[in-house]
Structure 1
Amino acid sequence: MILVHALRSVLHLLFMAVTVVPWALAVLIAAPFLNSTQIYWMCVGWLKLAVRSGELMLGIRNRISGFENLPVGTTAPAILLLKHQSTWETFCMPTLMPHPLAYVFKKELLYVPFFGWAMAKMDMIHIDRSKRAQAFNKVVQQGQRLLDQGTWVIMFPEGTRIPRGEQGTYKTGGTRLAVATGAPVIPIAVTSAKCWPRKALIKRPGVVDFSIGQPIPSQGREADELMREVEAWIEAEMRRLDPDAYAG
């Protein structure tokens, strides 16, 4: 069975590698003639292909709960703060959400051939981590502009992919942005490591839960206090969704 999973995983990886090249080239060619929203949904088209192929080739299925907790309205703001366990949720979130999303990510990703080049054409927030104060000022300025136009900002408060059953250090960048802009925070728990473990070549079939929490108002809050509430909800929900991982 492991051999079958390995073969399927390699085939899926090759499929993504082969399809991202022409898709990225199409984005680069079309970008001068499209607005930022059109470019975004064109890029999401490849993500949908990657996710759909993951369903068919890897046997990974998504189960979403709490969709009714998302803000309603074309310009209703939201800052999504997710548990981060694998690449899977990075691919899935733009395909699941009704609004365009703007990831906050390190600028080095823009140099990844094809994938990064296409990302550079999207209206997202790429930062220089070596310039911390300037980086956060940029996040607030761009984040406010994006939120005003109906784009939701998405961040991983633990900063990196966390192994299944573990908990990272929750950083306050997302809640600081929420307090600065007045946008509500949406905590989201994700169990992707059950199928797509961190840095793993071999993926396994199964169900990945995306549990969307109720919006948490940010106005009049302190960033540290707000992040503690986000952390408490996400970690409690992770233990509810994947109790075997936290049994020890």
Structure 2
Amino acid sequence: MIRTVLFRAVLVLSTAFFSILAVVFVGMGGGGAGVNWINRSWARSLLAVAGVRVRVEGLEHLHLSGPQIIVANHQSYFDIWALLAALPVSVRFIAKQELSRIPLLSRGMQSAGHVFIDRDRPRRARETFRTAGRRMHAEGLTLVLFPEGTRSRDGRPGRFLRGSFALALETDAPLVPAAVDGGHRVYRPGARRVRPGRISVRLAAPIPLDGANPPDRRTVMHEVRSAIEAMLAERTEEHLTPQ
């Protein structure tokens, strides 16, 4: 319980500090490398206090300086920090519009280049994604998308939203499936305690979207989901195999 209390205190203080730092840094003309450092430092400080380690496999599937979209399952808030902390690319997140209502956090996220999407307004969401896609190509950014739209309560992937893939098709950037596992054991929706543990991130071969059309979104969605489920199944088998 002491760890949980400490984590929540650090969450507030660290988020406030790094949000202000992002606003000031970008306001003074700071560039991508500094923003990446701010994002990673914020994430690593929270993971360290929570006692969470991150293991990554499949980094060879990432383009280290080119545009791409990582499509991941979503078990916990810790998924966000694990991806920010562990991936050696310029990571930016597609966040739900509700987070933009948290004053200091939203300013920090916007300054750091993260993108808020209003899924209730498809036309506005599409234009926002197009703008993000242009920036992604210009700056070699990696966008992270959680197509479930919310966190899983049992660790298994929920229903993927087809609209997320329709937006992704707007960018023409390759999709990199990512299976994130362990976050629901550290902290799941409705839980009162943060538990130390390990989060694994597995990346699969990218799926190119060159020339893909809106009708292709269902096929792309199934391909990404199958890759994620296969990686999660392999992870489960590893846990069950006697050492």
- Identity %, equivalent residues: 26
Gaps of 5+ in 1: 1-5
Alignment check: 8 A CA contact 2:39 2:84 kept? no
1:140–1:40 distance in 2 versus 1, CA, 3 Å? same
Equivalent residue for 2:45?
Answer: 49
Amino acid aligned to 2:220: L
1:189–1:200 distance in 2 versus 1, CA, 3 Å? same
How far residue 180 of structure 1 moved from its aligned partner, in angstroms, is 2.9
Alignment check: 8 A CA contact 1:143 1:177 kept? no
Alignment check: 8 A CA contact 2:154 2:184 kept? yes
How far residue 138 of structure 1 moved from its aligned partner, in angstroms, is 1.9
1:152–1:244 distance in 2 versus 1, CA, 3 Å? closer
1:135-146 matched pairs, under 5 angstroms:
135-146=125-136
CA distance in 1, matches of 2:155, 2:83: 21
Which of 66, 71, 74 matches 1:84?
74
Which of 49, 54, 67 matches 2:59?
67
How far residue 223 of structure 1 moved from its aligned partner, in angstroms, is 1.3
Amino acid aligned to 1:16: L
1:224-239 matched pairs, under 5 angstroms:
224-239=218-233
| 2:3 aligned with 1:13 | no
Alignment check: 8 A CA contact 1:43 1:118 kept? no
Which of 139, 148, 154 matches 1:149?
139
SS at 2:170's partner residue? helix
Amino acid aligned to 1:240: E
Amino acid aligned to 1:144: R
Alignment check: 8 A CA contact 1:147 1:153 kept? no
How far residue 49 of structure 1 moved from its aligned partner, in angstroms, is 1.4
Alignment check: 8 A CA contact 2:75 2:155 kept? no
Amino acid aligned to 1:199: G
Q: What's the TM-score once normalised by structure 2's chain length?
A: 0.85
1:111–1:180 distance in 2 versus 1, CA, 3 Å? closer
Count, aligned residues: 235
CA distance in 2, matches of 1:83, 1:44: 20
After the TM superposition, which of the residue ranges 92-101 and 27-36 deviates more from structure 2? 27-36
1:173–1:153 distance in 2 versus 1, CA, 3 Å? farther
SS at 1:181's partner residue? coil
How far residue 168 of structure 1 moved from its aligned partner, in angstroms, is 1.1
Equivalent residue for 1:3?
Answer: none
| 2:149 aligned with 1:159 | yes
